[in-house]
Amino acid sequence: MDAQEATRKFKQAEALYANHRYEEALQLLEALDLNFPNTKNILYPMALCLAALGKKAEASAACDTLDMLQDNRAQALRAKLGAAVQDDDPGMGLDANLLGDFDRPAPKRPAPVQAPSRMPLYAGIGGSVAVVVLLGALLYTGVLGKLLPARETVESALGKIAAVSSSTNACSGMFTAEGNITQPMAMKLTCSGDFDFLVKADKPMYLINAAIVMEGTQGGMTQSFKVVCDGATMFQEVNMMGKVMVMKMPVPPGAGQKMNPAEILNMIKQVGEIKLEKDETVDGSPAYVFSLIPSPTTELPPGLPKPGDIKITVVKETGMPALIEVKDEAGATMLKASTSRIVVNSPSSPDKFKYTPPAGVKVMDMSDAQKMMPFPMPGM
């Protein structure tokens, strides 16, 4: 829904409200709210309609949201909820800056000067006609589209994530993941653990502790592993059924370099179409939501089921992925991974990233083997 259609629907709702057709007005406003959530100039008339229909609890909830958006009209409306709406209620009051709200993100602006609360809608009709004529001319010539703030795109969202990532030199948190594999045998995998990451003098330091539970038709087993990197050497410790193995290798060149979001976008475009969906909230923080629909011509390794939809949620404040979910063509979840308790730019001591092998365990040097691998192993 573009700004022009949104404004037309809002005016229809205002006319319906003025004629006491509150239910019909509310339906139009709810449609606008789906397209422009948390917009004060939509929530306020919705609250008016709900109050007029006697839906006081819902009207009060709308007022709570308006309070969070620092809309002073909520307090006055809440005071009226104890009494029935009068037949001469003046209406919802169209804001001259409404189009800015309909093409968010809009720049912050001072609250508009409110007309007296009981001014009739026909007051100042000459000025209203002038405004409508001016808006119509702007829409017709295409000038208004250039004046309105641009909508968020995949590229602009990735650019903002890149800006956040470039200023992040330390990050820690928890992670969980679960999925199902079919090759070489059907098995369910569950993984959970914690991580700590630090870049010091352009060298990547990280510590990962995780446990993997594998469950299949032949039974189950648990494996734990640890990856420790001090910026120059990386160690991998694996504990499988009580047997501990330790491998070491030098850190690959460029391991501490952050990938440009444009490169990520180009990689994704090679396997499907990426879209920016409606924002979500993760632990109280706003987050971008990307969806990827793989191309029908995408080739996968033999034995892997073809994904039907991929969802990636990234917290705006930290630039960290909060959720990655992959579904198959039937809609069943193939993989679901999430992070939590994320803390950025609160670095741990570099001593935390020093590794000491368990007593009596031989460390295998995998430097030569690493060079022969066609793709990096986890942590490599």
Tell me the C-alpha distance between 148 and 150, whole Å: 6
Rounded to a whole number of angstroms, the CA Rg of the chain reads: 28
What confidence score (pLDDT) does residue 162 get? 82
26: three-class secondary structure by DSSP: helix
Tell me the C-alpha distance between 340 and 344, whole Å: 12
Q: What angle do CA 317, 168, 251 make, to 5 degrees?
A: 140
Tell me the C-alpha distance between 355 and 226, whole Å: 10
In a domain, 192, yes or no: no
State the SS3 of 163-225.
HHHHCCCEEEEEEEEEEEECCCCCEEEEEEEEEEEEEECCEEEEEEEEEEEEEECCEEEEEEE
What confidence score (pLDDT) does residue 103 get? 45
Do 21 and 163 fall within a single domain? no
Under 8 Å between Cβ of 164 and 319: yes
Under 8 Å between Cβ of 9 and 28: yes
Do 278 and 325 fall within a single domain? yes
pLDDT tens digit sequence for 33-91:
888 887 888 888 888 888 888 888 888 888 888 888 888 888 888 877 765 444 444 44
Q: What angle do CA 169, 263, 151 make, to 5 degrees?
A: 90
Nearest Cα to Cα of residue 324 among 277, 290, 296: 290
Do 74 and 160 fall within a single domain? no
The one-letter amino acid code at 191 reads C
In a domain, 63, yes or no: yes
CB atoms within 10 A of CB 150: 10
In a domain, 107, yes or no: yes
Tell me the C-alpha distance between 135 and 245, whole Å: 71
Do 57 and 165 fall within a single domain? no
CATH, residue 162: 2.50.20.10
Tell me the C-alpha distance between 308 and 305, whole Å: 9
Nearest Cα to Cα of residue 189 among 334, 88, 2: 334
Do 160 and 15 fall within a single domain? no
In a domain, 208, yes or no: no
Tell me the C-alpha distance between 149 and 134, whole Å: 19
In a domain, 22, yes or no: yes
Nearest Cα to Cα of residue 236 among 115, 36, 376: 376
Do 165 and 313 fall within a single domain? yes
In a domain, 102, yes or no: yes
Q: Which of 87, 115, 147 is at the close of a domain?
A: 147
In a domain, 178, yes or no: no
Do 296 and 317 fall within a single domain? yes
- Specify the number of domains making up the chain: 2
Do 79 and 162 fall within a single domain? no
Do 159 and 304 fall within a single domain? yes
Domain that holds residue 283: 152-170+258-342
Tokens of 33: 């709210």
Do 143 and 159 fall within a single domain? no
CATH, residue 127: 1.25.40
pLDDT tens digit sequence for 322-336:
998 888 777 888 888
- Report pTM: 0.54
* Ranges of the chain whose pLDDT falls below 70: 1, 82-151, 181-185, 217-218, 252-269, 298-306, 368-380
Strands in the chain per DSSP E: 170-181, 187-200, 203-216, 219-229, 233-240, 243-250, 272-276, 280-282, 285-294, 307-315, 321-328, 333-344, 363-365
What confidence score (pLDDT) does residue 352 get? 92
In a domain, 190, yes or no: no
Nearest Cα to Cα of residue 45 among 98, 1, 107: 98
Tell me the C-alpha distance between 125 and 161, whole Å: 46
Q: Which of 147, 181, 204 is at the close of a domain?
A: 147
Do 9 and 102 fall within a single domain? yes
Do 51 and 164 fall within a single domain? no
Q: Which of 101, 116, 147 is at the close of a domain?
A: 147
Under 8 Å between Cβ of 171 and 344: yes
